[in-house]
Amino acid sequence: MTLLEAFRRLSPDCPPEDFAGQDALAFVQDEVNMLARRLTFEESIREDAATEVTVHMLFGGSRTTGALECDSDKRVRGFLRRALSNKAIELWRARRALAEDTIDDADHPIELVDIALSAEDVLTEPDLMREALAIEQRFMDVLVPACAETFTQVRARQDFLTVVTQMRALAFKATTIDEVVLESTGRTGATAEAAVHQRHHRARVRLVEFIANESGAGRLSAEQAEQFRGCVSFLHRRASSAKEAARAAQRDQR
């Protein structure tokens, strides 16, 4: 299988028994990871960029006009390299902006602090943290279960809640992506990890769509919708940040 053939076969609806489709995903992911290693950014940004680009390609990025114009392995490689570079720059800028605005970068979700700031800019720092964590708690206790109820099958609801719990644990660095992959699939490796990222991506998309529907129906205010979208963004902090935390812990033990 060539890179071009694998690129064209990418599909989010590829069933587990479609071994050719699974091989295509693994092929493209390996290529993206190899290209990412050549970027001149810190490791966590390279890993996040590789994950983001792979998921994006799987969920439609490989069928955009620019992607469909690729007619050789070389052109696919160039297309992926540009996507990686753009994503890495985006992540670097976002992290730099967060670092400049950080109130407390210890064990607290900085994104949620920003949400609280937007809601009440005269809060003191302790109040700010309490408000941020209260928003996140409402998100987990109210919005996530309500979103889960939109699934018709009980198993689908349970799977959704499990995935959100996994993303939250990753965001708070309470687990690692390797542990989540093994727990979810019983396997390790690039293909298993990609499958987990797909599930996480679908859950975040479901949450964003649910928030939009609730806001459109008037059941959420504009401010609440913005706060909950921020909570979904916080769940997006996964994979490489968790890996980096695990590596740091290992280094501390040496």
Query: How many CA atoms lie within 13 Å of 191's alpha carbon, on the beta-carbon side?
Result: 16
Residues of the chain with pLDDT > 90, as a percent, come to: 17
Q: What is the pLDDT of residues 31-56, one digit of tens each?
A: 999 998 888 777 878 888 888 888 88
* C-alpha torsion sign, points 34, 40, 44, 46: negative
Confidence tier at 245 by pLDDT (50, 70, 90)? very low
Amino acid at 145: P
Report field, pTM of the whole predicted structure over 0.85: no
Helix (H) or strand (E) holding 17: none
* Cα dist from 201 to 45, 156, 235, whole Å: 18, 15, 10
Residue 49 to residue 41: CA distance in whole angstroms: 10
CB 167 within 8 A of CB 235: yes
For position 178, what pLDDT does the model report?
85
